[in-house]
Structure formats: C-alpha cells, structure tokens
Amino acid sequence: MSDFEIRTLTDAEHRAASDLFRETVHFRPADDAEWERAARAYQPGGTLGAFDPELVGTARSFDAELTVPGGARLPMAGVTSVGVRADRTRRGVMRALLTGQLEGFAERGVVFANLLASEASIYGRFGYGLATRSRTYSVDRHRARLRPEVPVGGEVELLDLDRAVEVLPAVYERLPHRPGMMTRPEVLWRFYENQARRHEQPTKALVHHGPDGPDGFATYRVEGLHAHPWTKQLEVGHLFTGSAAAFAGLWRFLLGVDLVDRVVAEERPLDEPIELLLADHRRSSVDRIADEHWIRLVDVPRALAGREYGHAAPVVLEVVDPLLPGNGGAYRITPEGAERTDEPAALRLDVTTLAMVYLGTWRPSALADAGRIEVRDPAAAVAADVLFGTRVASWSGTYF
Ligand SMILES: CC(=O)SCCNC(=O)CCNC(=O)[C@H](O)C(C)(C)COP(=O)(O)OP(=O)(O)OC[C@H]1O[C@@H](n2cnc3c(N)ncnc32)[C@H](O)[C@@H]1OP(=O)(O)O
C-alpha cells in the first residue's frame, strides 16, 4: 500500500480525470468541443482522484434509483470511469478508490452501487456480483414476417437527434420498470447525447404513440454503408416499451426500414419475446448472451427489506461482508419481507453472491451447487429459489 492521497475532485479537475480514464481504456483525450459536451456528464462532487503526487487514478459516480423486485425504487450510485495510469497499476490505487467510494455511499444512505465491468475478474472482491444479463439478437429483415395476430400498434414518429434529446427523457420517465431498471439522471442523457454526436452515422429515434400518449421509444443507427451494396445493418441501441402494442409497433417499424438487411437489437432482456412476433422464429438468432449490471448491496438490511419475495417457506440467510461489516449477520426472508434475526442460518453466503441472487438472475440452488452458497439445510436452497425468483427477467437497459 502506497501513501497516495484520495480526494473528491473539483469541477475544474474533471477534464484531467476524463483524459486519464480515456488513456486507461486506450482512447485519445476528448478535444475541446467533445469536452464541452462530455463535461455535462460529470455529476459535481461525484469523481474521486488518487494523487501520487499528480493524478494517477480516478473513479466517477452519479446518483439514481434502482427498481427492485416488487417495484420499489431505492437510491443507487452508478459507478463508472474507473482507471489507473498504466505505470501505477497493481499498487492498490483502485482498491483505495473503490473502498473510499463505498464508504462514502454507505455514509450518505445509498443502498446499491451499480457498474458495468470491463473485465469480469475485477469487482467481485469489492462485493459487486453479476446481477443482470442481456442477449443481443438479430432479425433477418428480408425474410422475417410478423404473425398476423401481432398487434398493429399505434403511430410511430421518427425523430432526429436534436429532437430526441428533448423528447426521450420524458418518455422514459413515463414507462414502467422491470426489476434492475434505473432512473436516468440528466448526466446520463448528456452522456448518450455526447456518444451519439461523436458517431459518424446519424442516430435516429422512434417514439411510439399509444392511446394514452407516448408509451415506447427506440434509437438506432444504420451501419455498413461502405460495404458492398446491400449489407447494411440497423443497430437498435435503446428500446423501452410500456405495452405489448408498443413493442410490436416499434418492431413493425424497424423491420420496415428500407435498405437494411439485418436488424440487430443490442443487449436486450433475456426473456424479450421477439421470436413470438415472427411467423418463422428462425429468422431471429441470438448473437450473444453477456453480463449487464453488477450490483453491490451497500446497505443489505434496506435492500433486503425493500424487495418483494415469492411464496415459499421462510429461509434464514447468513451474509458475510468483510468490507462493510455492518451488513453481516442473519436475515429471515419470508413472503412478507425480510429482517434481521438471531435464528440459526440455513444458508451462508458472501455479499457478492447475495448480489447475484438479489434481482432473481441466478438461482440460489445453482449457486449452492457451484459451491458459492454454504447449505446447512437443503430444503432452504429450494425455498430460496422461489423467494428470490422474479416473474420477468431482471434487466437494466441503461449503459454507462
Ligand atoms: C466500472 C468501470 O469503470 S470498468 C473500467 C475499468 N477500467 C479499466 O479496465 C481500465 C484499464 N485498467 C485499469 O485502469 C486498472 O488496471 C484497474 C482500474 C482495472 C485496476 O487498478 P489497480 O490500481 O491496478 O488495481 P489494484 O492494485 O487496486 O488492485 C486491487 C485488486 O484487484 C486486482 N486487479 C486489478 N486489476 C485487475 C484486472 N484487470 N483483472 C483482475 N484483477 C485485477 C488486483 O490484483 C488486486 O487483487 P487483490 O485483491 O488480490 O490484491
């Protein structure tokens, strides 16, 4: 452990943090015009720096709310832009940044920290567990036909980027959330705008209008314009819908865009029913299943009390959390809720594994079979599968 200093950066230091982070992920620094936009994606007071004596590491965060099973929205911090200068790695700089960040979150009542990991082997040691997954799928536009009973949907309005920037935040606000979805603060929308403006191809947006107003939207770009004729690919970035008609209506539009061979929907929920819309389900194919959000339960008692549970016999869990030991101890989980208990535990797991279970993405009995949960009563693992299970697959859909 070195004696570097960790402190919150001032707004004037954000650009140096951005340059440093971009260097760690092998990007060139933002030029002045890019930085003017990118600066708006930095929440004031949300970025830590490590100094030794100059800036050698950084980690950024912003505030939002996470939707948990049952629909409650609890305070979360999105963690991003973690980077350490290549000549200072493996000396504990990231550890100091991430533990300092978690202690700060705990002090100000943040319940969850969420991140998207550059490498899967980094964050488990800090209590982050893989909590949502996604699948990327493609549809062969020329051969795909919608089944006749698929809803027609409402009117779909096409927006350019300037208009999308104005309209989409309010549409997103209106839409229902799956577990794992999050509110999107202004800094995130600024981040998306910045990414879209930097891209060579124009970003388009679609808004679906249902009987009660906007009830879904999608964004897309068409790539492959320089390839030999007619191999263009329409790539769907964001896609959120509040009704089956909006989902069908937006897909009807996307499959009707001219001069496109393939429509690729990036990082969608595992249970999104695209196959059910198609007359021949083999016209869609899964390109990959990948990690999505990693979550860290910063306040385990609040997190466990905040979600709803399935109907099964009560289970007592013992949670182990060396970094935030106040979270440790036994919790009784029942269909009515969760609270601390002195009863003996039937299952024992660390806080990283609890994060994998919390949104219902991984079954406790599968984690037990893999040796990640210590089982003192085998019936408890089966009951925990039902208690922690969710009706729909948890998914965020928000990249940062
Ligand atoms: C949420 C996001 O922002 S994702 C983006 C993450 N950033 C990047 O990938 C940029 C490129 N990489 C880097 O900048 C750095 O290598 C970092 C930030 C990943 C790690 O920073 P370091 O200061 O080297 O990490 P630090 O020395 O504190 O290591 C802490 C622990 O993590 C481990 N670790 C660090 N980097 C990695 C890695 N890439 N893969 C696996 N383990 C790692 C260390 O071995 C150490 O393990 P220990 O708990 O057994 O002691």
> Domains (ranges, CATH) in the chain?
5-115 (3.40.630.30), 134-290 (3.40.630.30), 300-388 (3.30.1050.10)
Residue 46 confidence (pLDDT): 97
Query: 16-50 b/e with 16+ CB inside 10 Å = b?
Result: ebbbbbbebeeeeebeeeebebbeebbbeebbbbb
The overall average pLDDT reported for the chain is 96
Has residue 230 got a pLDDT over 70? no
Residue 224 confidence (pLDDT): 87
Contact 30, 21 (CB under 8 A): no
Within 13 A of 301's CA, how many CA atoms are on the CB side?
12
- For range 44-53, the mean pLDDT: 97
Ligand 1 pocket: which of 122, 291, 323, 352 to mutate (most atoms within 8 A of CB): 122
The answer to whether 95 is a known ligand-binding residue is yes
Has residue 227 got a pLDDT over 90? no
Residue 348 confidence (pLDDT): 98
Has residue 315 got a pLDDT over 90? yes
The two three-digit tokens of residue 390, written as one number: 């969710």
Has residue 2 got a pLDDT over 70? no
Residue 237 confidence (pLDDT): 96
Residue 266 confidence (pLDDT): 96
Where do runs of H (alpha helix) occur along the chain? 14-24, 32-38, 93-107, 161-174, 186-198, 244-254, 274-277, 300-306, 351-358, 364-369, 378-388
The span from the CA of 298 to the CA of 135, in Å, is 27
Q: How far is CA 259 from CA 94, 161, 206, 234, 270, in A?
A: 47, 21, 18, 9, 28
Task: Give the distance (Å) from ligand 1 centre to CA of residue 87.
Answer: 13
For ligand 1, say whether the CB of 366 is within 6 Å of any of its atoms. Answer: no
ipTM: 0.98
pLDDT band at 225; cut points 50, 70, 90: confident
Contact 130, 174 (CB under 8 A): no
The span from the CA of 316 to the CA of 334, in Å, is 9
Q: What are the tens digits of pLDDT across the range 326-346?
A: 999 999 999 999 999 999 999
Task: Give the distance (Å) from ligand 1 centre to CA of residue 337.
Answer: 36
Has residue 390 got a pLDDT over 80? yes
The two three-digit tokens of residue 55, written as one number: 């800036």
Contact 240, 272 (CB under 8 A): no
For ligand 1, say whether the CB of 286 is within 6 Å of any of its atoms. Answer: no
The answer to whether 93 is a known ligand-binding residue is yes
Q: φ, ψ for residue 346 (rounded to 5)?
A: -95, -25
Residue 295 confidence (pLDDT): 98
Ligand 1 atom 30, closest CA: 95
The DSSP code sequence of 149-167 is: TS----EEEEE-HHHHHHH
Number of other CB atoms surrounding residue 281 within 10 Å? 14
Residue 229 confidence (pLDDT): 65
- For range 348-360, the mean pLDDT: 98
Q: What are the tens digits of pLDDT across the range 96-117?
A: 999 999 999 999 999 999 999 9
- For range 368-378, the mean pLDDT: 98
- For range 368-377, the mean pLDDT: 98
Has residue 347 got a pLDDT over 70? yes
- For range 249-254, the mean pLDDT: 98
The answer to whether 83 is a known ligand-binding residue is yes
For ligand 1, say whether the CB of 323 is within 6 Å of any of its atoms. Answer: no
pLDDT band at 226; cut points 50, 70, 90: confident
For ligand 1, say whether the CB of 246 is within 6 Å of any of its atoms. Answer: no
Q: What are the tens digits of pLDDT across the range 131-180?
A: 999 999 999 999 999 999 999 999 999 999 999 999 999 999 999 999 99
